[in-house]
Structure 1
Amino acid sequence: MDQLDRFNRRYNFISKLSAAFFFSIAVAIALNFFWAPGHMYSSGITGFAQLTNSVTEKYFPFTISTSFMYFALNVPLFILGWVKIGHKFTFFTIVAVVLGSVMMHVIQPLEVHWDPLLCAIFGGTINGIGTGFALKNGISTGGLDIIGIVIRQKTGTSYGKFNILVNLIIIAAAGFIFGWTRALYSALTIFINGRVIDAVYTQHKKMQVMIITEHAQAIIDGIQGKMHRGITILHDAEGAYGHTEKTVLLTIIDRYDLYDIREIVKQADPYAFMSVSEVEKVYGRFKEQEIV
């Protein structure tokens, strides 16, 4: 058992490190291959770092690089993550941000003149995949990721929607610096980035599951043993076709739990009826998956 625990810890460490490295490559490619050549801004801390780079380059005798500013702006947010989210989570966030800063510097911008619409689409998609993959593996890419996770833990607000809302200020800045056409493309890439993050990182999405079964206790034991979810039991239900007595089970799960609950139901009662629907909000007692 100890050997299995060591293997799981080693696998978890490698998967998080790989996710951090994958993100660093994705953000560097999005920034230097698409956003910089297209003169548009990213979302979140990356966008603010780009803004700082543009302002210092245009109005100051010195230039602060995007890669340096990306790291500097994240430093106070590391403290927030350490206190509010978890130590391991913040450690790998620091790794992801450091790798991202290094890759932004190492992977140089392309001197190309691509259509800005393509730059917006590909930049937002590539960065969204990298960020979503990092979040899915239990780490953050820094900045608004950390703020978004803290707010989501308190309110249940979608991370991607929060990201889009906060970045309105970046769109306005893009309009003043590069013109309102570029602001439109920045808005498009921020929107795509947020939607791709939500598509890849689905842990925060809640699902309501209704199960109609003749073997309720076996399913209840399986769900509570593996997922520790609360279940509402409705007795004395009757099937209209065979007029057999059934039990209705209602529970709320994370989307990540969907595969597990399907397997539990299949093993306990292959003839059970199960319906699943997405839940917009959950009020009351619901245990979030912990981030450490």
Structure 2
Amino acid sequence: MDRLDTFNRRYNLLSKISASFFYSIAVAIALNLFWGPGHMYSSGITGFAQLINTLSERYLPFTLTTSVMYFALNVPLLLVAWFKIGHKFTFFTIITVILGSIMMRVLQPVNMHVDPLVCAIFGGMINGLGTGFALKNGISTGGLDIVGIVVQEKTGTSYGKVSIFINLVIIAAAGVAFGWNRALYSALTIFINGRVIDAVYTQHQKLQVTIVTDQPQAIIDGIQEKMHRGITIFHDVEGAYSHIEKKVLITVINRYDMYDVLQIVQKSDPYAFMSVTEVERVYGTFKEQEIV
């Protein structure tokens, strides 16, 4: 058991660092090969770093590079995360931010004439893939992730509202700096980035699982032991074909939990009937995966 725990810890550490490295390459490629040449801004802290870079080039005697500002803007947020969210969470976020800053510097911008629509699409796709992969491995890419978590905990305001407000500022800045057609492309790349993140990182998506079974207790014990989900039980349910008395179990899970639930049901009752539907919103108590 000790060897297994050691292996799991090492594997978990390696997967998180690999995800951080993958994200750093993705954001650097998106920035220097697509967003920069296309004169458009990303979302969140990366977009604000680009904005400061543009303003410094135009109005200051020196240039504040995007890579430097990306790191500098994240520093106060990392301090907030260390004290307000968790040390382990912040540790991997620091690694991700440092690697991102380095790769933005190492992968130099490319001066090429590319259709801005192509830049918007591919920039959003590549960055969304890197961000989604990082989130899927349980790490944050810094910036708005930290702001969203803290604001939601303190005020109850959703992360989405905070994100929309900040991104609207970035889009407006893109319109003033490069023209409103570029603002449109910035909005497009932000939208694509978000959609790709949602496609890769599905843990936050909720599913309602309905299970019809004559072995309810084994399934209930398995689900509650594995993921601590609440379950509603309907007693005295009869099948229209067999007229055998069964019970119906209903629970809401993260999409990430689906594989475990399926294994538990198949092991407890191979003849159980199970249906799964997507849930738009959940009200009341729902236990999210803890951030440490």
Displacement, 1:149? Answer: 3.8
Q: Aligned runs of 1:111-260 on 2, under 5 Å?
A: 111-150=111-150, 157=158, 163-260=163-260
Which residue in the other structure is 1:274 paired with? 274
In 2, distance between residues paired with 1:280 and 1:157? 15
In 2, distance between residues paired with 1:285 and 1:118? 43
Q: Is the CA contact 1:163–1:194 (under 8 Å) kept in the aligned structure 2?
A: no
CA displacement, residues 190-215 of structure 1 (integer Å, 9 cap, x when unaligned) = 11111111111111111111111111
Which residue in the other structure is 2:57 paired with? 57
In 1, distance between residues paired with 2:118 and 2:165? 23
Distance 1:147 1:137, change over 3 A: same
What is the SS of the residue equivalent to 1:52? helix
Moved more, 31-40 or 161-170: 161-170
Q: Is the CA contact 1:45–1:70 (under 8 Å) kept in the aligned structure 2?
A: yes
Q: Is the CA contact 1:213–1:246 (under 8 Å) kept in the aligned structure 2?
A: yes
Structure 2 residue 108 is the aligned partner of structure 1 residue 108? yes
Distance 1:205 1:120, change over 3 A: same
Q: Is the CA contact 1:89–1:139 (under 8 Å) kept in the aligned structure 2?
A: yes
Q: Which runs of 5+ in 1 are unaligned?
A: none
State the Cα RMSD in Å. Answer: 1.6
In 2, distance between residues paired with 1:110 and 1:287? 46
In 1, distance between residues paired with 2:38 and 2:57? 17
In 2, distance between residues paired with 1:179 and 1:148? 29
In 2, distance between residues paired with 1:245 and 1:82? 53
Displacement, 1:280? Answer: 2.0
Q: Partner letter of residue 100 of structure 1?
A: G
Q: Partner letter of residue 134 of structure 1?
A: A
What is the SS of the residue equivalent to 1:284? coil
Displacement, 1:165? Answer: 4.7
CA displacement, residues 123-176 of structure 1 (integer Å, 9 cap, x when unaligned) = 0000001011111111111101222344566859576x7634530110000000
Q: Partner letter of residue 276 of structure 2?
A: V
What is the SS of the residue equivalent to 2:109? coil
In 2, distance between residues paired with 1:153 and 1:208? 25
Identity of aligned residues (%): 73
Q: Which runs of 5+ in 2 are unaligned?
A: none
Which residue in the other structure is 1:89 paired with? 89
Moved more, 234-243 or 141-150: 141-150
Q: TM-score, normalised by structure 1?
A: 0.95
The count of residues paired between Structure 1 and Structure 2 equals: 291
Which residue in the other structure is 1:73 paired with? 73
Q: Is the CA contact 1:208–1:251 (under 8 Å) kept in the aligned structure 2?
A: yes
Q: Is the CA contact 2:210–2:275 (under 8 Å) kept in the aligned structure 1?
A: yes
Q: Is the CA contact 1:156–1:281 (under 8 Å) kept in the aligned structure 2?
A: no
